[in-house]
Amino acid sequence: MNTESKAETGKAPIPVVNLFGPTAVGKTSLLINLFKARAEIVSADSMQVYRFMDIGTAKPDAETRRVLPHHLIDIRNPDEQYSSGDFVQEAVSCIRDIASRGLLPVVSGGTAFYFKNLVCGLPETPPADSGIRDGLKKEIAVRGRETLYRELENFDPGAASRINAADTYRIIRALEVIRLTGRPLSSFARNVPSGGPYRFLSLGVWRERADLAARIEARVEGMFRKGLEEEVRGLLTKGYGPEDPGLRGIGYAEFLNLRNRGCLTFAEVKQAVIHHSRQYAKRQTAFFRSLPEVVWIHAEEEDRILRTVDGFLQGADCTS
């Protein structure tokens, strides 16, 4: 999305490729095969921002990051919040830096609302109100998080559909906006990203449902073989726990349920991770399908992806 013309800025818009798709669709291998030596990656993954969480977040390994640099990975501790606003601000900075060095910025990951906010802009929401926020925290302590989440579902189902029922921070923020303004969070207009202009090519990568389900199961099996249980144990030893944003993610929360409830077997934890990952992939796909001007290409069609990117860089309208 461009809001400044070439004449107004004196510069051509910065071309940016967005490449996204559900978990386990094969984004990392596509990035290596198609963009090595010509691009750098801006990670759009809300869990890969966290340090000490490599296996469960499927971070690209050190060799991959050596041959194809990635940004916005390992930039927060698991107990720190990382918002869409943080992502847009830092992604814009990375995009400008990558382009200034003559390389192609490629934004890639699976966190759909990051892409929506980058391309369509952030909502013009009001600033935080400490009084309302403190009151909501007390309500959660008394009434429970589930009760307030149901309240959010009633007043703003659009926001509730994008917020995990265990995400206390975002539940409070959405209800804070409602109580402060009388309007749902999802009703606020969006500001375009600052520091533009940009010209986006959004590529959605897909696979058949059965193929994706099998790949998700294989990925989870691989995570357990690599030591996911030991990684979770190490996080707990460092003092992180279930209320920390990082440990609310799939692959970590299931172990904490085992620890807290004490009634799940190790095999049941693994199956829960597979099940939740498949559910998440469905939600990702639905959200990505709602984004504007996306070119959908099968993950095995590397030549078509490459042709589409090359055409985009040459100025073609690839969405028509």
Residue 124: per-residue pLDDT = 80
In the chain, how long is the greatest CA-to-CA distance? 65
Residue percentage of the chain with pLDDT more than 70: 92
Contact assessment for residue 191 and residue 121, using Cβ atoms and an 8 Å cutoff: yes
- Other CB atoms within a 10 A radius of the CB of residue 198 amount to 22
Note the pLDDT tens digit of each residue in 207-240: 999 999 999 999 999 999 999 999 999 999 999 9
* Burial (0-12, 13-18, 19+ Cβ within 10 Å), 61: exposed
Residue 133: per-residue pLDDT = 92
> How far apart (Å, rounded) are the C-alpha atoms in residues 17 and 100?
15
- Side-chain-side CA neighbours of 310 within 13 Å: the count stands at 7
Contact assessment for residue 50 and residue 76, using Cβ atoms and an 8 Å cutoff: yes
> How far apart (Å, rounded) are the C-alpha atoms in residues 82 and 164?
14
Residue 316: per-residue pLDDT = 77
Confidence of residue 5 (pLDDT cuts 50, 70, 90): very low
* Burial (0-12, 13-18, 19+ Cβ within 10 Å), 127: exposed
Interhelix angle for 112-120 vs 266-289, to 10°? Answer: 20
If you average pLDDT over every residue of the chain, what do you get? Answer: 91
Q: Is the per-residue pLDDT at 18 higher than 50?
A: yes
- Give the C-alpha distances (Å, rounded to integers) separating 207 from 8, 28, 216, 235, 298: 41, 15, 12, 33, 6
In the chain, where does DSSP find H-type helix? 6-9, 27-35, 62-67, 84-100, 112-120, 130-143, 145-155, 157-162, 168-181, 209-226, 228-237, 253-261, 266-289, 302-313
Domains of the chain are 6-123+190-313 (3.40.50.300), 130-187 (1.10.20.140)
Residue 6: per-residue pLDDT = 40
Contact assessment for residue 124 and residue 59, using Cβ atoms and an 8 Å cutoff: no
Residues 6+ apart with CB under 8 A from 25: 205, 206, 207, 212, 215, 281, 299
Q: Is there a cis peptide before residue 197, judged by omega within 30 degrees of 0?
A: yes
Tell me what the mean pLDDT of segment 174-179 comes to.
94
Note the pLDDT tens digit of each residue in 227-274: 999 999 999 999 999 989 999 999 999 998 876 666 678 899 999 999
> How far apart (Å, rounded) are the C-alpha atoms in residues 76 and 270?
26
Residue 125: per-residue pLDDT = 82
Q: What global pTM score does this model have?
A: 0.82
Residue 4: per-residue pLDDT = 40
Note the pLDDT tens digit of each residue in 119-138: 988 878 888 888 999 999 99
Residue 126: per-residue pLDDT = 81
Distance of CA 178 to the CA centre of its chain: 24
CA-nearest of 92, 9, 12, 55 to 226 is: 55
Q: For residue 50, what is the DSSP state?
A: B
> How far apart (Å, rounded) are the C-alpha atoms in residues 293 and 107?
16
